[in-house]
Amino acid sequence: GDSVTQMEGPVTLSEEACLTINCTYTATGYPSLFWYVQYPGEGLQLLLKATKADDKGSNKGFEATYRKETTSFHLEKGSVQVSDSAVYFCALSDPQGGSEKLVFGKGTKLTVNP
């Protein structure tokens, strides 16, 4: 079945450092790919998405490119802030699987220190 594998955490960075969180997927069809962020005590918020190969999703300085050839959707940010501290989830939705459910990775906890 469909699955998402993302970089194990936790990740600790200093403010203004570069961030990359790796995410790879397995899907039978042509999925849409997402990054969600969960701040402490809150629900998940959609950070960015890409619906087809070579699409780049971007939001709040974060970017991820849908790479079909490597089945990857790595999350990047050039300069992180303390406010970026959260748990980040990579996810896919594969309508050809017959459902609109999201399949999530296990999450990567990011801590940014001042």
Partner 1 sequence: DSGVTQTPKHLITATGQRVTLRCSPRSGDLSVYWYQQSLDQGLQFLIQYYNGEERAKGNILERFSAQQFPDLHSELNLSSLELGDSALYFCASSVLTGVGYTFGSGTRLTVV
Task: Give the residues lining the site for partner 1 (CB under 8 A).
Answer: 32, 34, 36, 41-46, 49, 51, 89, 93, 95, 98-107
Query: Least separation, in Å, of the C-beta of 62 and partner 1?
Result: 14
Q: Dihedral of the CA atoms 56, 57, 58, 59 (nearest 10)?
A: 180
Q: How far is the CB of 92 from partner 1 (least distance, A)?
A: 11
Please tell me what DSSP assigns to residue 109.
Answer: E
Shortest Å, Cβ 38 to partner 1:
9
* 39/79 with CB nearer partner 1: 39
Give dist(CA 103, CA 19) in Å, integer.
23
- Tell me whether strands 62-65 and 86-93 are parallel, antiparallel or unpaired: unpaired
